Chains A and B, each alone.
Chain A
Amino acid sequence: EDKVVQSPLSLVVHEGDTVTLNCSYEVTNFRSLLWYKQEKKAPTFLFMLTSSGIEKKSGRLSSILDKKELSSILNITATQTGDSAIYLCAPFGNEKLTFGTGTRLTIIP
């Protein structure tokens, strides 16, 4: 059975801090790994990672995949209150995404 584990489950930091969110996975026929941000509605796409060791960046967010370790990290630097959300990791395998439980990030002003 496909499995995705995210850590920590919850994280509370002050505005301006840097955070690292972790994702480990066991997925059959792995093709890629996606990160999503979810506030009160549906998840919104952040990154897709297909190759190990190549960092993807978007503003203050960056992510990298380690296919050998079956893991990925999402970094957010200089956090802002608007970064408060649930961050979901989802490997793509067997023609579908399998989601982790997510990391709930809370940024204190």
Chain B
Amino acid sequence: EPEVTQTPSHQVTQMGQEVILRCVPISNHLYFYWYRQILGQKVEFLVSFYNNEISEKSEIFDDQFSVERPDGSNFTLKIRSTKLEDSAMYFCASTLVRVLGNQPQHFGDGTRLSIL
């Protein structure tokens, strides 16, 4: 069964540095998402992406964040200048159609981001 893959599994970065988290969604999927989960807290929506543009973003997704689908297969999340509070597990998800009635979102294993 096809899977969403995320790399790296763990990223350690100094505060203020840029970080790029990578995701390869399932190949025929059209909608892509990033979520994050701070330790001990709920999974939170960050951004959704369709047709090469952001379709929705949350309050968390400020100017420090950006997403890109540079080559038709990868889907990246960039944090320009990391802060301590960016430490979290970041999940990528993809789905074939936006209306979820028949198509669930498929999640990757996540990238654990640790900011020092």
Q: Do A and B come from one complex?
A: no
